[in-house]
A and B are shown apart, each in its own frame.
Chain A
């Protein structure tokens, strides 16, 4: 997409405008329609998440991050009632999710699973229109409202031109946008996305996340995304939740949460955290990669410096030195 390859300068401006527009919204923080209380989740007899408390701030983008198998996707599934809690509850507007008819939940919460599958040979418009399911009855299979919602969802995700194409023949990025369009057509206030960028190249990842951010921004939708890329999480989250071994380790604004200590604690990785040269959000740069032992200390230090090359060199270089010494001291 053209949007996906906008130059860094454009992006900088966008981020600036974004930040300004965002601050009034921040005042309304605190409310939370979706929350988890003492949530314990298990598959068969393997407990994945234990005693989890989580409140999803309304109108914000919450990103859940963590290493593989930390229970982040499992938590999202439970928030979207795809997984029944072993104990504890998920509350939607103060009501226990387990007691709410699934159709009514579907009118409030839209959810896109990690690898959704469509029936063979389904067309784009047909798939997107399935998102209207919770608003339809067998005797009311299509309304003006459905028409409007589907048209809007397809326009928003830029898939209108693909309407009559078969989903099978689309590229990964296009297909993901079609799935998001389906979830949008559902017109829910809450949207849960399970690793929406997996299997996409970097341009398409950015495209999808930008789309999500725009949706949140324009409609004030509450979005929860599970991501495994910490930098993307820090860049797009209003509220970041870091999980490890089925528990929340830290949560809050990315700028407050993402530190070298957190990265070490959650991912077990030595890293440097610098300000993102474009957005100013925290940027995690992993510590020294493997290098042949023969070269001296100078060689080691130069590597992290290279990774951040184009940014202003004073900040990262300074931190890189401390990491270098820390790694050396272990």
Chain B
């Protein structure tokens, strides 16, 4: 011990220390170079994405095969690639495919939305259906139905408007010289309860037929929906793709505490606002298309994170997890109690509610210190 060099003296011995051959790049990341660009790629996330894609493809084939009449996977694939018999084309292409496509759009939208909102709130409890965004979309949609708006091209846009308004209100009320993560979630929960009661009020006051229609919408269902609803969803996703790519990078930067993030040169409030905005638009569009498919946005990001083991919520993995949850959920909802069809929202809620309770129990214990906020 006495031979140790004094700490205060500058030492050439530091250079003699064996260098880490792998380099200091964070473990588990690969590097992609393209010209002047360089991108970090998390290897386990990449394999998770590949795995999810394979699983999703299989689920999709199963989805198109199973139903009132079974169509063999081989024939399903033929139809998807533009062939098949007339009957198969009707069953698979016309009846089942549009609904599947909607599911494939709604799932990722909820998955990404949940990931972004949870990142900003630094809280796995935060998701658009918990903090009032889905309810905001719901109020406007049910309101529109009650007042006789039946145009399915208009409804999704009204829904986005509702979701954005609700999110703006929550954001403003949670703002006090900066966004306080915990307050954001709590105020969101308050708003979601208030908005839910407005929906109930609208449904009781409204026409019975409309109320029933609204009721089905409120549980979240892909039943009887297809390309009409999928179109605005597809447009929204296409328009938001660059934004989502940006978000995937920006997300990494806001996962630190406020002071550290600011010290690292991040314009925290702007980045957060951007992330929330993307999340809210996606959740609202998806809610407009399929109703609030409960708990998908809550569960998908956390499942995805456990798959990749990354410090932040992986966006693409979360999107694909959302797709798997929604499509698989709808497949089960269709077939489990056949011929009775359940709305997919009932199924996701059946899985999601226990998960939420587990999350609450776990967080109120040892996990509470990680709750974030100041």
Interface residues of A in 68-108 (CB under 8 A from B): 77, 80-82, 102-107
Residue from B9, B253, B372 with most neighbouring chain A CB atoms (10 Å) = B9
Interface digits, B254-295 against A, CB 8 Å rule (1 contact, 0 not)? 011101101111110000000000000000000000000000
B10 within 8 A of A: yes
Q: Verify B8–A210 contact, CB threshold 8 A.
A: yes
Query: How far does the Cβ of A156 sit from chain B's closest Cβ, in whole Å?
Result: 7
User: Which of A13, A102, A131, A143 touches B267 (beta carbons < 8 Å)?
Assistant: A102
Q: Verify A13–B6 contact, CB threshold 8 A.
A: yes
State the CA gap A126–B309 with chains docked (Å).
Answer: 12
Q: Verify A163–B14 contact, CB threshold 8 A.
A: no
Q: Verify B256–A129 contact, CB threshold 8 A.
A: no
Q: Verify A140–B19 contact, CB threshold 8 A.
A: no
Residue from B8, B38, B262 with most neighbouring chain A CB atoms (10 Å) = B8
User: Which of A6, A107, A119 touches B255 (beta carbons < 8 Å)?
Assistant: A119
Q: Verify A10–B2 contact, CB threshold 8 A.
A: yes
Query: How far does the Cβ of A219 sit from chain B's closest Cβ, in whole Å?
Result: 10
A201 within 8 A of B: no
Interface digits, A298-328 against B, CB 8 Å rule (1 contact, 0 not)? 0000000000000000000000000000000
B152 within 8 A of A: no
> Which residue of chain A has its CB nearest to the CB of B2?
A7
Q: Verify B264–A143 contact, CB threshold 8 A.
A: no
Interface residues of B in 111-125 (CB under 8 A from A): none
User: Which of B38, B246, B250 touches A142 (beta carbons < 8 Å)?
Assistant: B38
User: Which of B27, B249, B372 touches A141 (beta carbons < 8 Å)?
Assistant: B249
A53 within 8 A of B: no
Q: Verify B24–A140 contact, CB threshold 8 A.
A: no
State the CA gap A82–B266 with chains docked (Å).
Answer: 11
Interface residues of B in 312-332 (CB under 8 A from A): 312
B69 within 8 A of A: no
Q: Verify B38–A143 contact, CB threshold 8 A.
A: yes
Q: Verify A126–B27 contact, CB threshold 8 A.
A: yes
Residues of B within 8 A of A141 (CB): 38-40, 249
Q: Verify A106–B263 contact, CB threshold 8 A.
A: yes
Q: Verify A125–B1 contact, CB threshold 8 A.
A: no
Q: Verify A147–B370 contact, CB threshold 8 A.
A: no
State the CA gap A142–B31 with chains docked (Å).
Answer: 8
User: Which of A121, A164, A214 touches B7 (beta carbons < 8 Å)?
Assistant: A214
Q: Verify B27–A125 contact, CB threshold 8 A.
A: yes
> Which residue of chain A has its CB nearest to the CB of B267?
A102
A134 within 8 A of B: yes
Q: Verify B37–A139 contact, CB threshold 8 A.
A: yes
State the CA gap A117–B261 with chains docked (Å).
Answer: 10
Q: Verify B10–A217 contact, CB threshold 8 A.
A: yes
B26 within 8 A of A: yes
Residues of B within 8 A of A140 (CB): 36-38
State the CA gap A162–B355 with chains docked (Å).
Answer: 34
Query: How far does the Cβ of A260 sit from chain B's closest Cβ, in whole Å?
Result: 28
B354 within 8 A of A: no
A62 within 8 A of B: no
Interface digits, A120-155 against B, CB 8 Å rule (1 contact, 0 not)? 111101101111011000111111000100110011
A160 within 8 A of B: yes
State the CA gap A106–B261 with chains docked (Å).
Answer: 10
Q: Verify B8–A18 contact, CB threshold 8 A.
A: yes
Residues of B within 8 A of A164 (CB): 27
A110 within 8 A of B: yes
> Which residue of chain A has its CB nearest to the CB of B257?
A117
Q: Verify A131–B19 contact, CB threshold 8 A.
A: no
Residues of A within 8 A of B7 (CB): 3-4, 6, 14, 207, 210-211, 214
State the CA gap A133–B254 with chains docked (Å).
Answer: 11
A186 within 8 A of B: yes
Query: How far does the Cβ of A280 sit from chain B's closest Cβ, in whole Å?
Result: 14
Q: Verify B1–A163 contact, CB threshold 8 A.
A: no
Residues of A within 8 A of B36 (CB): 139-140
Residues of B within 8 A of A130 (CB): 252-253, 256, 264
Interface residues of B in 16-65 (CB under 8 A from A): 17, 19-20, 23-29, 31, 36-40
B151 within 8 A of A: no
User: Which of A118, A133, A207, A214 touches B264 (beta carbons < 8 Å)?
Assistant: A133
> Which residue of chain B has its CB nearest to the CB of A84?
B177
> Which residue of chain A has its CB nearest to the CB of B14?
A155
User: Which of A13, A122, A142 touches B25 (beta carbons < 8 Å)?
Assistant: A142
State the CA gap A18–B17 with chains docked (Å).
Answer: 23
Q: Verify A134–B8 contact, CB threshold 8 A.
A: no
Q: Verify B265–A134 contact, CB threshold 8 A.
A: yes
B311 within 8 A of A: yes
Interface digits, B331-374 against A, CB 8 Å rule (1 contact, 0 not)? 00000000000000000000000000000000000000010100
Q: Please judge, given known A-B contacts A118-B311, A156-B14, whether A2 and B1 are in contact too, CB under 8 Å.
A: yes
Q: Verify A116–B25 contact, CB threshold 8 A.
A: no
B4 within 8 A of A: yes
A113 within 8 A of B: yes
Query: How far does the Cβ of A207 sit from chain B's closest Cβ, in whole Å?
Result: 8
Interface digits, B144-171 against A, CB 8 Å rule (1 contact, 0 not)? 0000000000000000000000000000
Q: Please judge, given known A-B contacts A147-B24, A155-B17, whether A131 and B264 are in contact too, CB under 8 Å.
A: yes
Residues of B within 8 A of A2 (CB): 1, 4
State the CA gap A186–B264 with chains docked (Å).
Answer: 8
A249 within 8 A of B: no
A111 within 8 A of B: yes
User: Which of A110, A156, A207 touches B263 (beta carbons < 8 Å)?
Assistant: A110
Residues of A within 8 A of B4 (CB): 2-3, 6, 10
Query: How far does the Cβ of B126 sit from chain A's closest Cβ, in whole Å?
Result: 15
Q: Verify B24–A154 contact, CB threshold 8 A.
A: yes
Give me 26 A-to-B residue pairs in the complex whose CB atoms sit less than 8 angstroms apart, sorted by A's number: A2-B1, A4-B7, A5-B1, A14-B7, A14-B9, A17-B9, A18-B8, A77-B259, A102-B262, A112-B263, A118-B256, A119-B255, A119-B312, A123-B26, A125-B25, A128-B24, A129-B25, A130-B252, A141-B249, A142-B40, A147-B23, A155-B19, A156-B14, A160-B17, A183-B263, A214-B7
Q: Which residues in A have some Cβ–Cβ distance to B below 8 Å?
A: 2-7, 9-11, 13-15, 17-18, 77, 80-82, 102-107, 109-113, 115-123, 125-126, 128-131, 133-134, 138-143, 147, 150-151, 154-156, 160, 163-164, 183, 186, 207, 210-211, 213-214, 217-218
For the complex with contacts A4-B7, A214-B10, 6 further pairs of A-B residues with Cβ separation under 8 Å are A6-B6, A7-B1, A11-B8, A18-B9, A116-B260, A141-B38
